[in-house]
Amino acid sequence: MILLISGPSGAGKSTVYHELLRRDPRLGFSVSTTTRPARAGEKDGVDYDFVDDAEFDRLVAAGAFLEWARVHDRRYGTRRDQVAALEAAGRIPLLDIDVQGGVQVLDQVGVEVVSVFVWPPSWAALEARLRERGTDSDAVIATRLKNARWEIGYADRYAYWVVNDEVEAAVRRLEAILVAEGCRRERWGAAPVQAPARELE
């Protein structure tokens, strides 16, 4: 199983999934690779793998990415070896990626992807959250709003919609989605109970 989370920036999705990661040790965060510079407080290899354009080109050429996309003039990608290492460790990879990348994942991988689109409670709330950060210029905020509009247009590709009206409620919805997905018939390799051979009755 892979947990794919997308949603416009300003929906508060990272707050939600960081809390989910804290509660559910089965999950493991898939660290994306990006060409954008680190913001204050971001750690290389934890928040992102920060690389330069030449290294990103090399990874693309090597087929290292499950998906990659250009967002806000920077490139972001999910490395196959990251996802494989989490799976090898028996964990559920959690991917936080933009809709361009999300759609690539959905097109490649089948039933094993649980896709969730995180919505802000309202457009005004999204805009307020973007402004609250205080680190971005008006031009950057305008780009993010334009992008949010575009991201929302892809929400129909996601199996689940979670509105982040309140972090605790949103986290519980995600937890419920993981439990329910574990009960889906398609995820069982075989019936949990076999009736014995007829003559034993």
Minimal distance, residue 192 CB to its own copies, in Å: 5
Partnered with residue 119 across adjacent β-strands are: 163
- Whole-angstrom CA distances from 15 to 83, 99, 184 are 21, 18, 27
3-state DSSP assignment of residue 146: helix
Closest CA to 38 of 30, 49, 24, 54: 49
Q: Which is nearer to its own copies, 99 or 148 (CB)?
A: 148
Q: Which is nearer to its own copies, 136 or 175 (CB)?
A: 175
Q: Are strands 74-79 and 32-34 parallel, antiparallel or unpaired?
A: antiparallel
Q: Which is nearer to its own copies, 79 or 173 (CB)?
A: 173
Minimal distance, residue 161 CB to its own copies, in Å: 5
Residues in contact with its own copies by CB under 8 A are: 116-117, 119-123, 126, 142, 145-146, 148-149, 152, 155-156, 158-163, 172-173, 175-181, 183-185, 188, 191-196, 198, 201
Q: Which is nearer to its own copies, 97 or 148 (CB)?
A: 148
* CA dihedral (165, 167, 171, 172) positive or negative: negative
Minimal distance, residue 172 CB to its own copies, in Å: 7
